Amino acid sequence: MKNTQDRAVFGRWLAAAGLSLTIVAPVFAASNPADFYKGKTVTYIVATSAGGGYDLYGRLVADFMQKHLPGSTFVVKNMPGAGHLIGANAIYASKPDGLTLGTFNTGLIYNQLIGREGVKFDLTKMSWIGKAASEPRSFIISAKSPIKSFKDLQESKQTVNFGTSGIGSASYVETKILADALKLSIKIIPGYSGTEDLMAMRREEIVGIIGSRSSFEEFVKNGYGRYIAQIGGKETDVPQLSSLVTDPNARTLIALIRSQGEVSRLTAGPPDIPKDRLEALRNAYRQAMADKDLQARAAKLGRPLDPGVGDEVLAEIKEALDQPPATIALLAKTLEIKQPTLKAEGPLLEVKDKGRVIVFAGPDKQKVESKPSGGRTKITIAGKDAQRGDLKAGLDCEINYKSGGDNEPSTIACK
């Protein structure tokens, strides 16, 4: 209607015809993000073999996410290898359509920290769905072993075989860290996945394991093994490892391991899953963790739950990765992995103490404080050899340096 008069005329005509004029606003049905998953198949990758803690949690999560995404079908796909790297890389590289998720172990946090070769992911960029638990780490020793306490292990004159998952996994990294830092007579036997390590301990192929406490509760309860020390957790039946050592470097690494234990039994997808689908996945995960049937199954299996969802988990991942350079350098040294060389290009932001300390923006645009060596760092300005004292704030430079510790540059080439 063009104007009030026209509407009035039209209204009288309708009234004469015995009808009424009702203005109805258009109604739009609100779209439910979960509707996308009706009739869809979601692949849930477990980055280890069937059996064991990661597989158990992964299948539990997949079952109950399927329940809370009506019409969806979740298919679990085990993808073991390279200490969970193969599975994690596959999740990261998958199409970001919300139809591929998965789980992997927290040892990959260590791998990203030290820039391990083969890491093709950035944990801070993944689409985080949730975490199911926090897991203290424990030393488990075979009941057949004469080792009754952590002190016995420290004083052992014989080399003790410890089993781990693949090289790069949390169990491998943490066993290597602690064996070296605490000077334990441990020989690492890698390659056990699922529950193979438990059977190997019963066969006396190995004497001990370091791993998530919940994975060994039944084993210990049945009299096959004993706990001798623990990192993190609220249990008081086992001494905390930090109370048994005094070396500051060892205590630093123990604190690092404890921080990783806060984020466990993860579920994530590739970067850039559309927001509405990610919302649906997170809601399903939240409902799954609150499901009384899931909680009952976890309790029956002796598996702890300490869930987190979405950005809450991302914040914990970022915190775990936010380690001081000295800790990263110590970790890399312990694992005998060379630090990667990084390249920074741009102006020197600050020059202190006659060039002994320089500040510049790193590849991630964050400020880096670096200490050039008077003998090892090759410095050139405009193509000519120079010294640290010749460096000035504002010079445009290309800097190659090792991350960690003093971030010492190998070369500084300024224009």
- Same domain, yes or no: 187 and 269: no
- Same domain, yes or no: 215 and 270: no
- Same domain, yes or no: 204 and 249: yes
Q: Write the pLDDT tens digit of every residue in 127-177.
A: 999 999 888 899 999 999 999 999 999 999 899 999 998 777 778 888 998
Q: Which band of pLDDT confidence, cut at 50, 70 and 90, is reported for residue 107?
A: confident
Question: What CATH number is given to the structural domain containing 119?
Answer: 3.40.190.150
Question: Is 2 contained in some domain?
Answer: no
Q: Is the pLDDT of residue 30 over 60?
A: no
- Same domain, yes or no: 359 and 402: yes
- Same domain, yes or no: 129 and 145: no
Q: Which band of pLDDT confidence, cut at 50, 70 and 90, is reported for residue 404?
A: low
Question: Is 6 contained in some domain?
Answer: no
Question: Is 77 contained in some domain?
Answer: yes
Given 260, 277, 312, the domain boundary residue is 260
pLDDT at 340: 61
Interatomic CA distance for residues 185 and 334, integer angstroms: 15
Q: Are 248 and 239 in contact (CB under 8 A)?
A: no
- Same domain, yes or no: 126 and 151: no
Q: Which band of pLDDT confidence, cut at 50, 70 and 90, is reported for residue 196?
A: confident
Q: Is the pLDDT of residue 24 over 80?
A: no
- Same domain, yes or no: 182 and 320: no
3-state secondary structure string across 223-281: CCEEEEEEECCCCCCCCEHHHCCCCHHHHHHHHHHHHHHCCEEEEEECCCCCHHHHHHH
pLDDT at 403: 67
Given 260, 275, 292, the domain boundary residue is 260
Given 260, 278, 295, the domain boundary residue is 260
Measuring CA to CA, how many Å separate 67 from each of 37, 56, 273, 285, 390? Answer: 12, 17, 21, 10, 67
Which of 19-23, 25-29, 98-102, 192-196 is predicted most confidently?
98-102
Q: Which domain, by its residues, includes 72?
A: 33-133+262-325
CA atoms within 13 A on the CB side of 368: 28
Q: Which band of pLDDT confidence, cut at 50, 70 and 90, is reported for residue 2?
A: very low
Question: Is 5 contained in some domain?
Answer: no
Q: Is the pLDDT of residue 330 over 90?
A: no
Question: What CATH number is given to the structural domain containing 359?
Answer: 2.40.50.320
Q: Is the pLDDT of residue 12 over 80?
A: no
pLDDT at 41: 98
- Same domain, yes or no: 71 and 110: yes
Question: Is 408 contained in some domain?
Answer: yes
Question: Is 197 contained in some domain?
Answer: yes
Total structural domains in the chain?
Answer: 3
Interatomic CA distance for residues 322 and 324, integer angstroms: 7
Average pLDDT over residues 320-326: 84
Q: Is the pLDDT of residue 364 over 70?
A: no
- CA atoms 268, 272, 273, 275: torsion sign: positive
- Same domain, yes or no: 59 and 90: yes
Name the more confident of 242 and 16.
242
pLDDT at 165: 82
Q: Write the pLDDT tens digit of every residue in 55-78.
A: 999 999 999 999 999 999 999 999
Q: Write the pLDDT tens digit of every residue in 229-241.
A: 999 888 889 999 9
- Same domain, yes or no: 178 and 232: yes
- Same domain, yes or no: 128 and 266: yes
- Same domain, yes or no: 55 and 113: yes
364 burial class (0-12, 13-18, 19+ CB within 10 angstroms)?
Answer: exposed
Q: Which band of pLDDT confidence, cut at 50, 70 and 90, is reported for residue 13?
A: very low
- pLDDT above 90 covers a percentage of the chain that reads 56
Q: Write the pLDDT tens digit of every residue in 89-104.
A: 999 999 999 999 999 9
Q: Which residue has the tokens 């050039």?
A: 372
Question: What CATH number is given to the structural domain containing 241?
Answer: 3.40.190.10
